[in-house]
Every structure is written in structure tokens, then in C-alpha cells.
Amino acid sequence: MQTFCRNHGSLCRILLLCWIYWRSPRCHGAVEGIPTDEEQATGLEKIIMKAMKEGSDPYSMMKPKEYAGSKVDPHLVPSITNKRIVGCVCEEDNTAVVWFWLHEGEAHRCPSCGSHYKLVAHELPH
């Protein structure tokens, strides 16, 4: 072995470095196997995943919760201002949309079908 290393010194150094690197823990990556999405997420994706895990939806990516539309349980409409225009398709197979303004405060009724809507404050995530 010594004779080989004397004759091929650079090759022995390379092999020694490879052996040292192979024995190091950083070479083997994740000990537990393939990392999950949560473990390897970075930046905005990590922020979104953390918020979703906590139960909030900062970028309104999930389907909104459905409400009965009654006076007790009105449809909640998020807005960053104190008013918003709302469109109501009163019947499932209706092709016309009834548009009306929704103002901050108590729930408002759709002028056509009577469903109740309430404006709620919405904070932008940025």
C-alpha cells in the first residue's frame, strides 16, 4: 500500500478525501429518508404551509366556508374597504346575477331572493 501511494500520490489523496467525505453525515442527506414537503419548503411556500397548518388561509386559496344565508348565519363577504359590490345568483339554474352594494355593519338582504350577506374586515397578508 505504501509503495502504491508513493507511486500514485495524487490518486491516494483523492481516494482519502472521497473516503472522508463518504463517512461524513452531510453526504448521506436525510437520515429518515425522503424529506416531506414541510421539511424542504422555503420562503413564501413555507409561510403558506405554516399558516395552513395553524388553520388560517392568508392568501384565500381554500374554498370559502358555506353559510346558510339566513339573518342568524349570513354569508360572510371579506373586504379591505367599508363597502363592496356583491353578485347573487338567486337560484341554482338562474343565468342572471343580481348585483347590490354591501356596506359595513349589520347583514344586508339580497333584493331578489332574500339571502343575507355581511361584510367582514379582511387584512391583506403583506
In whole angstroms, give the CA distance from residue 24 to residue 72: 63
Which residues are 108's β-sheet partners? Answer: 117
Report the first-to-last Cα separation within the chain, whole angstroms: 64
Known binding residue 113? Answer is: yes
* Residue that the C-alpha cell 363577504 belongs to: 77
Known binding residue 88? Answer is: yes
Known binding residue 90? Answer is: yes
* Residue whose C-alpha is closest to residue 101's, from 114, 115, 83: 83
- Residues making up the annotated binding site are 88, 90, 110, 113
Annotated binding site for Zn(2+): 88, 90, 110, 113
